[in-house]
Amino acid sequence: MPASEIFIQATETDPDVIARGAVHEAHERLLSGLAELTTVWSVAQAAEPRSAELVDFCIHEVRRYLVIAERDLYAPASEDDETRLLVDALRVGAAGLNAQIDELAAAGSVDVARLGAMIMAGLDIHLQIEESVLLPALAGLPGVDPSLLASGLRAYLAGEQVQEPTIIDVRRIARGGRHPRVFARYARLAPGETFILVNSHDPKPLRREFETIHPGAFSWDYLQAGPEEWRVRIGRVAADA
C-alpha cells in the first residue's frame, strides 16, 4: 500500500473515522442529555416541568436517533449473514426502549425518575454494542460506504428533522381490507421509499401477492419476527437498484 494511503487512513480524512466519530458524538449527546435529566431528585423536586423535559427528550431525541440507526446502521448490516443476528438483537433492544418510552410518557411524575434511569441504563448498553460491535462489523462488509452511514447522524447532530416511516398496523383493519390498504400505500411510494407493516402473524400470503403483482419491484425486510408481533419494512425498489 502506498505511503500516502497509509497516512490518510485512521486520520480525520478516513471515512471510517468520520463514521465512528459521528456515531460516538450522537451517543454522547443522548447519554449526557439523559444523565442530566435523570439525576436523582426527591419526589418533592420531581416537578411536572422537569418530568416533561425528560419525556420530551426521550420522544424527540432518543426515538429520533433510533429511527436513524435503523435506517443507516441496522438496514445495511441486516443484508449480511454475519451481522444479521446482531441486528436482530439490536432491533429487539430498540423495540424495548420504545416500549419503555411509551410507559414513561404515560407515567405520573413520581415514576418518571425511575423509568428515566431504566431507559438510560438500557440505552447505554444498546449504544455500547452499536459502537464496539456493530460499527467494526459494518466496516468489514463489502459495499458499505462509511461516509453514507454517518450522513444521517450528522443531520441528527445538526438538529435536522428525520422523517419516520409510515406504519400500517393491519391488526386494526377489518379482514378483507388489509391487503388492498397495503397495496394502495405501496402504489404511492416513490422509488426508494418504504413503509412498515405491523401484523400479528408472519404475512407470507401478502408477500406472495407482492411477488406475483410486483416481481422484482419491491423490497421486504423483517424488522421483528414474532412471537406476538411481526414488523416488515416494505419498499419500492429504485429503478437503478
Q: Are 214 and 143 in the same domain?
A: no
User: Are residues 195 and 171 part of one domain?
Assistant: yes
- Identify whether residues 136 and 83 lie together within a single domain: yes
Counting residues of the chain whose pLDDT is more than 90, the rounded percentage is: 20
Any domain includes 54: yes
Residue 73 resides in a domain: yes
The answer to whether residues 171 and 207 touch, using CB atoms and an 8 Å cutoff, is: no
Mean pLDDT score of the chain, rounded to an integer?
80
Q: Which of 132, 157, 182 lies at the terminal end of a domain, its last residue?
A: 157
Residues 33 and 108 both lie in one domain: yes
- pTM here? 0.62
- Asked if pLDDT for residue 200 goes beyond 50, the answer is yes
Please tell me the least confidently modeled range out of 58-62, 133-137, 159-163: 159-163
Residues 10 and 60 in one domain: yes
pLDDT tens digits, residue range 161-185? 655 567 888 887 778 888 888 888 8
Same structural domain, 18 and 108: yes
Query: Is there a single domain that holds both residue 180 and residue 209?
Result: yes
Give mean pLDDT, residues 176-200: 85
Task: Say whether both 10 and 115 belong to one domain.
Answer: yes
Q: What's the domain range around 139?
A: 3-157
Among 157, 189, 205, residue at a domain's last position: 157
Q: Are residues 75 and 143 in the same domain?
A: yes
Cα–Cα distance measured from residue 231 to residue 211, given in angstroms and rounded to the nearest whole number: 18
**Distance from first CA to last CA of the chain, Å, rounded?**
32
Q: Are the CB atoms for 125 and 64 separated by under 8 Å?
A: no
| 98 and 209 inside one domain | no
Here the CATH number for the domain that contains residue 182 is 3.30.110.40
User: Which is nearest to 115 in space by CA: 128, 127, 98, 101?
Assistant: 101
User: Cα(87)–Cα(106) distance, rounded to whole angstroms?
Assistant: 29
Residue 241 falls inside a structural domain: no
Q: Are residues 183 and 147 in the same domain?
A: no
Instruction: List the single range of 93-107, 158-172, 181-195, 211-225 with lowest mean pLDDT.
Output: 158-172
pLDDT of residue 41: 47
List strands edge to edge, sheet with 218-225: 166-169, 194-199, 230-236, 218-225
Give residue 143's pLDDT band: very low, low, confident or very high (50, 70, 90): low
3-state secondary structure of 132: helix
- 157 pLDDT tier (thresholds 50, 70, 90): confident
C-alpha cell of residue 49: 416541568
Number of domains in the chain: 2
Asked, for residue 44, whether it belongs to a domain, the answer is yes
Output the pLDDT for position 135. Answer: 87
